Chains A and B, each alone.
Chain A
């Protein structure tokens, strides 16, 4: 317990939800600062309730604090109300546990979960009093680490970070901390230390690479500036997910976070290889955790936290090989202890529905399916491997089981999309509604079928087969959303269908950063200085300021978004290697153009390159 708070009572009483800033949560770790060598602070650059929902930080927090010489704390973005007060009163940003300024820490680790948090990174550095550019920092500043999915192309924020950790955090931090302890204080310069650090696998030090550009604004070359710095940084992979760090006593927030439950990661990676999906490529190969590990972890973490819900998380839970056994084991404990189980990311099949009906209240819940595209042609292009028949069968089983609410997720703006694909969304929704009325006799219906169609706009991501594709313009997005709405209002069962779509401006900006390069750092800083912050929050997103920022820096957004890349273009992230080869991705891109799907990893190895890690499904296949 630490009652010595950084913020005064007057400040805490004047901001929304002061519990965001007081720490002291159940299972938060407190250590004596005099008895540790290393002070680490992990940051999720968004508001507390979002950040506290994130499993990755909980894993690393647990890991670092198991190291006796290290105290790892947490920090989140102060909400705009507190942000204004901290600037006015010149209060330094502090870590939740010790309530001490993070500028005095050895390390600040920032997770990059989505592109729209980039200005919040600058907010964190700025409020902490840490120079924004890595090049301006000294030994008086913490070493600033980046990690998480966006670090697979960290270039737009590369100049703000000292090191990016590429891949899974469980593997190399110990080695890194030992190096730090050995070298710090020996008189070594910060830059020389970073050169030493870059020799540890998975450590990408952006300042050690020189990027040269062509006249047409594309990249000509990426060169390490020092002979001992590796040309390629290969992502780190946990070899055995049953023998690694995983928290059994995660921190329990007082505030209701977005994920107010135990988050149990049952496997990492995905066998499917959908061509739009970055997670499906960069987390390869699929590695499952054992039933024993999962049941033990589930029980102890429920006991240690008091949560009344547990969610089994993975990219595609139906593909976990012993899902039925796991659920059976969990149901027994959970029923006895009044604990709910939630299972997102299931594919449409009868088996899934059987499980769902065991763990959910059919009357209240809705089923969510993600066909992603409206026609079979386009689903083949994106390699979704899902037929109309699969979808309709799944829905029919659901209707028989008593569900009447179905949510359908689609993407607009996928490569090679045409009018028929858009009409296909409306027709599929209509067919599903019609199927409800055919399947469920009038007297058994719980009112009308409730089909919710949601579309988001496709943003091509690095390390996917679609990294070469052009992204739609804002006008195309709006037009396609309009046409989808019109098509839906034209079908017979339109009264049973509700349509939502995602905003367009942020999709464009997300697209710029997703495949952006280092020259964008100055745009992000410019936008931040103009007042852009919390861009992921529509009420704070200021598109006009972003447009001004690009204009003033003389950088065109279209260069990054709407341009289809030639096969041999050098990408800003080409110094990184996620295990899946560029050749494989290119092969997949060409197959997409021909509308040819690929088998999943369980059916047949496609030779993506991830077998080089020699773990998980790649190893099983070999045997």
Chain B
């Protein structure tokens, strides 16, 4: 999905228009994997008779690009995909038709035409925000909230981040990749962290680090994680300025 085919193809056709779709994933459908969601959308688009553009060749496929895979079991209010259409469509009408053809667990929240030169949504992803809940089955110390606030309030937050390959871990300062934090309730906190392709901070990793700091032992399936939003960085200098993908 990260390949450049999507963009270069689009350049070749002056008629084609690019759209971004925002959707939520909730309820029972949180047990559908990212791969299944991709196949699901191919079918939703067909059922909705949306004029999506197909690739050339003997077995053409729809030109879709998903922003950022959501782990199985997570819910989300901020999922994105880009699609190329063969012609300009009415955004409201497309939204209505997609929703009519989708199960209620996956709800289309917005459809927006993109600028011709816009980068595809996957390339835009810079940060994502989450609500992380420690499940009831896990006993928390009385001062858990305070400790979580302490953790995120540190001058630097040294954590061992597991490497993608060959196991092992690398010491990083989480503070540099943390853009926002607040407590939501006794067991739930909100974070906004970097999700760029190089330093992708996983929410379960952050939650695990919090537990370690608070001396809480996370057993099997300890967190309930909800993705709130995905952001791009629109700053043109070294600062970070976040804006939701739609």
Contact = CB atoms under 8 A, between A and B. Distances in A.
Given A18-B31, A307-B43, A254 B220 contact: no
A190 B220 CA distance: 46
B54 interface: yes
A346 to B, nearest CB: 19
Given A306-B46, A306-B47, A308-B46, A19 B103 contact: no
A13 B42 contact: no
B43 A252 contact: yes
B31 A338 contact: no
Contacts of A25: 103
A19 B47 contact: no
A9 B28 contact: no
Interface in A2-34: 2-3, 5, 9-10, 12-14, 17-19, 22-26
Contacts of A188: none
Interface in B41-68: 42-47, 49, 54, 58-60
Contact of B105 (A3, A13, A305, A306): A3
B28 A3 contact: yes
A1 interface: yes
B220 A26 contact: no
Interface in B63-104: 72-73, 101, 103-104
A340 interface: yes
A304 interface: yes
Contacts of A338: 54, 60
Interface string A335-350: 0011010000000000
A364 to B, nearest CB: 8
Given A1-B104, A19-B33, A303-B47, A24 B28 contact: yes
A305 B103 CA distance: 12
Given A13-B73, A13-B221, A22 B31 contact: yes
Interface residues of B, number: 31
A256 interface: yes
Contacts of B36: 19, 254-256
A1 B54 contact: no
Contacts of B40: 254
Interface string A101-125: 0000000000000000000000000
A361 interface: yes
Interface string A207-239: 000000000000000000000000000000000
Q: Interface residue tally of chain A, by bracket?
A: 20 to 34
Nearest to A361: B58
Classify the interface of chain A: helix, strand, loop or mixed: loop
Given A304-B47, A305-B43, A308-B42, A254 B28 contact: no
A66 B67 CA distance: 41
A306 B45 contact: yes
A517 B104 CA distance: 49
29 contacts: A1-B103, A1-B104, A1-B105, A2-B28, A3-B28, A9-B221, A9-B224, A13-B72, A13-B220, A14-B220, A17-B33, A18-B31, A19-B32, A24-B28, A24-B29, A24-B105, A26-B43, A26-B47, A252-B43, A254-B36, A256-B39, A303-B46, A303-B47, A304-B47, A305-B43, A306-B44, A306-B46, A337-B46, A340-B59
Given A1-B105, A19-B32, A304-B47, 16 more contacts: A1-B27, A1-B104, A3-B28, A14-B221, A19-B31, A19-B33, A22-B28, A24-B27, A25-B103, A254-B36, A254-B39, A255-B36, A256-B35, A306-B44, A306-B45, A307-B46
Interface of B: 27-29, 31-33, 35-36, 39-40, 42-47, 49, 54, 58-60, 72-73, 101, 103-105, 137, 220-221, 224
